[in-house]
Amino acid sequence: MSSPAEPQPEQVELVAVVDQGQAGIRLDQFLMDRTRHLGITRSKIQAWIKSGFATVDGRPCLRPGRRLATGERLELGKIPPQAALQPENRTLRILYYDDDLVVLNKPAGLVVHPAPGLDHGTLVHRLLHHFPELSQLEGARPGIVHRLDKDTTGLMAVALTEAARLRLTASFAERGVKKVYLALVHGRPDSSGLVDAPIGRHPTSKTRMAVVAKGGKPAHSEYTLLWTAPGDRFSLLCVRILSGRTHQIRVHMQHIDHPLLGDPTYCPAAHASWQSAIPGLNMVLQRPMLHAWKLGLPHPRSEEPMDFQVAPPKDMFQTILVGSRTTQRVGLIGMPGCGKSLLLADLAGQGIPVWSADRAVAELYRPGQNGWELLRRRYGERFTPMPTEPVDKKALLQAMRDIPGLRREVEAMIHPLVKHHLHAFWKTNYAARVTVAEVPLLLESGWTSGFDLIVGLACDPHRRRDWLRAHRGWDDNLLADMESWQWPEEKKLQSCGLVINNPGTREGLAQVALRLSRVLRWLRNQDVRRRLAHVQALVIPAPQREYHDSTAR
């Protein structure tokens, strides 16, 4: 393996005065005209200016585009020798290479080329090891014809010869290259759109770009919505850029109020406030979620069209899966006396957040609570005879049995309060993987839209009625009335997504609770697999080659 050629020191030292015919010329153009005989490229002249080697009237000028005035004195100091680029034996994921170019899959965290203060650990250093012929190319960016941000992953093309570099550079300049990205953005944009907004330096921050009214370069980005997470938290976009400005997608997505997930530079804190509430999300979301997905370009020698596509990295899928997690909301129903409350207690013992409609009603019926106040205002002291005592539920129950229409009137007042109580429970347990709510009249009240699964607890009718007689003192008339207010047991259970049986013993019911929690976990895992398969079908070509160590150089 050959070593990179040692670069020679630049022997440039220039003093010149702008004459009348040169007024208005750019600084970099002026210096390039004066050094043309040395074969120095414009990009190198611009790099020298930005590094402070040029002065105008004795003061350093760092702007290559500065317009000169007649009589100004320019000096270009002697440029110190450039340190040799040292090859580094680090892995590259190569999709294609020949004598003219290489197409690779860049990982996150890798800077493309050296810069002031960064003289090792870049993609260029790795390329020099695997493709030593690059050492024959000029400059600190041999073969680089386009760039990706440090934390952007995906497809890059690199020229291996000067002729290939010039042809590829021309293809990029003439928009003969197709560049398509995948981006995870906050919220839910329109199904498609075109962002036509010029980009320039941020007016107050030198390290940022921005959409600017004056002085920016034209920039166009087309996007298509591929998928949106539950609750419109974030979306997966396919973005094609028709120009290649610095940070273009990041700036344009911020401009339309849908900044990239994980982007510390362009994502306002208000957009990311929900992330901390999702367990584990901030652990996987460590970079701006942007991936160079597709690349189409003409071959630099044959001009034959070439198209490449590479699947997004693991952290992008992890962000999608973790970020789109929702609480599995389970509703528990059953006939009176079937053991719902005991089962709920067993589930709570496993650490599952649980909620009971009966307990919520008991709270609402306490003195001064909303349910107590509504009943007192509507019916006076009939069911709230003492201002310091809760609602007289026995008197209320008897009145609902005796007075036609009273039950529905009371339910119309109390059920919205109970439902609000339930929503508060869900909000409090936003980060839980599963919650279980016992709602005896869930089906009858029509609340099923808020639940992911309705579980019905079946029990031998004779056993549960005997239990109600023995432990609650219900007679046959009360039993008949209470059951008449609900759907028949057969209809209830047929409407459930899952039916479990109470075996009739406390120990047996505890085992049922354990099995139920395992089934719920299995259902959540199945949901994750379905979601992953759906997203993979959108972004991974079939079949997609799997990369192993043997594919890396």
410-428 residue pLDDT tens: 999 999 999 999 999 999 9
CATH code of residue 485: 3.40.50.300
CATH code of residue 156: 3.30.2350.10
Q: pLDDT grade, residue 118 (50/70/90)?
A: confident
Average pLDDT, stretch 145-163?
Answer: 96
Distance CA 339, CA 502 (A): 7
Average pLDDT, stretch 65-74?
Answer: 91
Closest C-alpha among 60, 59, 39, 57 to residue 49: 60
Residue type, 159: A
Of 323, 350, 375, the one marking the end of a domain is 323
Work out the mean pLDDT of the chain and round it to a whole number: 91
Residues tagged active-site:
149
Same domain for 494 and 392, yes or no, is: yes
Same domain for 314 and 337, yes or no, is: no
List pLDDT tens digits, range 163-194: 999 999 999 999 999 999 999 999 999 999 99
Whether residue 230 contacts residue 165, with contact meaning beta carbons closer than 8 Å, is answered with no
Average pLDDT, stretch 149-172?
Answer: 96
Same domain for 427 and 361, yes or no, is: yes
Distance CA 37, CA 34 (A): 8
- Which residue segment(s) compose the domain that 319 sits in? 94-323
Average pLDDT, stretch 458-485?
Answer: 94
Q: Is the residue at 7 inside a domain?
A: no
Residue 461 has pLDDT above 50, yes or no: yes
Q: Is the residue at 81 inside a domain?
A: no
- Compare 338 and 549 and report the one with higher pLDDT: 338
Residue 212 has pLDDT above 90, yes or no: yes
Poorest-confidence range of 140-154, 235-249, 267-281? 267-281
Same domain for 381 and 429, yes or no, is: yes
Poorest-confidence range of 269-273, 305-309, 449-453? 269-273
Whether residue 299 contacts residue 337, with contact meaning beta carbons closer than 8 Å, is answered with no
Quote the radius of gyration of the chain (alpha carbons, Å).
Answer: 35
E strands within 421-516? 434-438, 453-458, 498-501
Average pLDDT, stretch 98-123?
Answer: 92
Average pLDDT, stretch 538-553?
Answer: 57
Average pLDDT, stretch 516-520?
Answer: 97
Burial of 97 (0-12, 13-18, 19+ CB in 10 A): middle
Q: Is the residue at 83 inside a domain?
A: no
Same domain for 334 and 301, yes or no, is: no
Q: Is the residue at 8 inside a domain?
A: no
Same domain for 180 and 224, yes or no, is: yes
Q: pLDDT grade, residue 7 (50/70/90)?
A: very low
Same domain for 22 and 156, yes or no, is: no
Q: How many domains does the chain have?
A: 3
pLDDT of residue 9: 40
pLDDT of residue 3: 37
Residue 119 has pLDDT above 90, yes or no: no
Distance CA 158, CA 160 (A): 6
Backbone φ/ψ region at 143: left (φ over 0), alpha (ψ -120 to 50), beta: left
Residue 81 has pLDDT above 90, yes or no: no
Q: pLDDT grade, residue 457 (50/70/90)?
A: very high
pLDDT of residue 481: 94
Same domain for 283 and 241, yes or no, is: yes
Per the structure block, which two tokens stand in for 50?
């930005």
Q: Is the residue at 87 inside a domain?
A: no
CA distances from 453 to 299, 333, 336, 434, 436 (A): 55, 11, 20, 11, 10
CA distances from 79 to 39, 44, 251 (A): 15, 11, 35
Of 278, 308, 323, the one marking the end of a domain is 323
Residue 371 has pLDDT above 90, yes or no: yes
Residue 112 has pLDDT above 60, yes or no: yes
Q: Is the residue at 315 inside a domain?
A: yes
CA distances from 104 to 177, 253, 486, 553 (A): 16, 26, 65, 10
Q: Is the residue at 2 inside a domain?
A: no
CATH code of residue 29: 3.10.290.10
CA distances from 372 to 74, 157, 378, 386, 412 (A): 87, 72, 10, 11, 14
Same domain for 264 and 334, yes or no, is: no
Whether residue 298 contacts residue 305, with contact meaning beta carbons closer than 8 Å, is answered with yes
Same domain for 298 and 258, yes or no, is: yes
Residue 40 has pLDDT above 80, yes or no: no
Whether residue 374 contacts residue 367, with contact meaning beta carbons closer than 8 Å, is answered with no
Average pLDDT, stretch 34-53?
Answer: 80
pLDDT of residue 273: 86
Average pLDDT, stretch 13-21?
Answer: 86
pLDDT of residue 548: 36
Residue 290 has pLDDT above 80, yes or no: yes
Q: Is the residue at 131 inside a domain?
A: yes
Same domain for 47 and 113, yes or no, is: no
pLDDT of residue 545: 40
Backbone φ/ψ region at 54: left (φ over 0), alpha (ψ -120 to 50), beta: beta
Q: pLDDT grade, residue 42 (50/70/90)?
A: confident
Whether residue 335 contacts residue 438, with contact meaning beta carbons closer than 8 Å, is answered with no
Same domain for 341 and 271, yes or no, is: no
